[in-house]
Chain A
């Protein structure tokens, strides 16, 4: 366990260096969030009856999303890891007495957390001071907040698991670039990063909510504002756990097979 903590610490410290990037990120996310809220406000004005959530819940959703963008970003792939797979230098990592899977996992977790840690505070604070329906409001209640924290962690796990799946599939594919574009596209849309899932048409929306992608951003941000609560929330948390378990098991299996192939081919 200690070695994984070391991977985590080194990565974390390295990612903290990017100070200018963090400020630029804060500015970008703040502008982005403002634009999105203005857009939804226009839709709200056009037809308030068809608005599927409370407007303040939507605002909270968007600000949380912008604040924690780096935590769940679908286009984050570790360059070193990808290079080691596509160029075959993975052999060096296989010589180390650690599990490849958990090494990747902790490295990526560190980078995601470090990036988000640098960026989230200014955005959360700024947005909390915005006028009522447009800013970040307080969590619905104490239970919601606790469940929010829990699902945030699980969502990070899920996002990581998905990134790892792409790494592992890179062993099998000839076009990692195309694979990444496809996965990013899918996550962006199906996790509620592009538009929150409640805005999708009925039927399609319920389908999307059951998919693993929904566990990433949709779940914690909606629990925070009370848009999902009670038994419904508990159901989706169990679903989230289920998907994490499935992904982890599937990936372990795929990785084992891929590595066997690597060893047979001699790198």
Chain B
């Protein structure tokens, strides 16, 4: 279980304005701004949960992950991961978590992947039997058997990410932190990674905390979302709950010939081009079927489609709503 209570963190950041004169000025005197990265963060995550941690850049996501993984000490507040405070008992804490940073590699660049795995086994003092079992399982689930003998530098990004994830799981961690695990991957690799994480969670009950900008990751993997912005938890709820609250609008895409139809109350224009309109319809004011029949009466319609808001749009709306 992960319990975070009233965690705060501030940073000092050096300020520099653009331009030559400012450059000379900073030469003599440096100014610092205090940034409140985390204002007052509290949440709990139960064993076996999969949680998506989202928010715009600079909202405090990575600070939270760093605190939970023992890299950063907060100014105040409490935090327990499996009854341990990460920054006080670093070594025993990190022995039972796994961390994947999507943009940085933990594998040794010039040697075969399997060598990296063995070194990681020794670093974590994983018993040989456990290591064997996990390696076999991971090799099979992530289809690594072909690439284990290849040096890391010769792997494609997708192959490498699969190896990275495997490397973080060799020691049977109870909690897995994934920091943008699908960044830069092609569609096939993305789906493979997602499938694997789901499977892992189902089979072993590993707690997964995922930060990402890819909303499809969130949709595919997590049932719970934590939204952070300006250093605060703004929202903590399930994805379907979110959808219900924020996606009451439907979108109608209408292609027409001739003149554009006049609109009636309940419809607003999202975008317009000659011959095509995208309309948002509020079902509380006007039902979709009424809207369609209204449109077909008022214009020569050649094509029409209806869609709900995507997760992406919901998130954009969320960010707008909370002004973050």
Contact = CB atoms under 8 A, between A and B. Distances in A.
A16 B30 contact: no
A72 B167 CA distance: 47
A17 B20 contact: no
A19 B27 contact: yes
Contacts of B30: 19
Contacts of A118: 27
A142 to B, nearest CB: 33
A200 interface: no
Contacts, number: 15
Contacts of B20: 9, 13
Interface string A1-32: 00000000100011011010000000000000
Q: Which residue, of A14, A17, A118, has the highest number of chain B Cβ atoms within 10 A?
A: A17
Nearest to B21: A13
Nearest to A22: B27
Interface string A72-105: 0000000000000000000000000000000000
Contacts of B270: none
A70 to B, nearest CB: 16
A97 to B, nearest CB: 25
Nearest to A10: B20
B24 interface: yes
Interface in B20-54: 20, 23-24, 26-27, 30
A121 to B, nearest CB: 13
A135 B35 CA distance: 48
Contacts of A17: 16, 23, 26-27
Contacts of B24: 16
Interface string A101-136: 000000000000000001000000000000000000
A16 B20 CA distance: 9
Nearest to B16: A17
Nearest to A16: B23
B217 to A, nearest CB: 31
A12 B319 CA distance: 40
A17 B30 CA distance: 10
Contacts of B23: 13-14, 16-17
A16 B25 CA distance: 10
A63 B132 CA distance: 64
A204 B20 CA distance: 48
A4 B20 CA distance: 17
A13 B30 CA distance: 16
Nearest to A18: B27
Nearest to A19: B27
A77 B23 CA distance: 23
Nearest to B24: A16
Contacts of A14: 23
Contacts of A13: 20, 23
Interface of A: 9, 13-14, 16-17, 19, 118
Given A16-B23, A16-B24, A17-B23, 12 more contacts: A9-B20, A13-B20, A13-B23, A14-B23, A16-B27, A17-B16, A17-B26, A17-B27, A19-B26, A19-B27, A19-B30, A118-B27
15 contacts: A9-B20, A13-B20, A13-B23, A14-B23, A16-B23, A16-B24, A16-B27, A17-B16, A17-B23, A17-B26, A17-B27, A19-B26, A19-B27, A19-B30, A118-B27
What are the nearest 9 A-B pairs in CB distance?
Answer: A13-B23, A13-B20, A16-B23, A19-B27, A17-B23, A16-B27, A16-B24, A17-B26, A19-B26
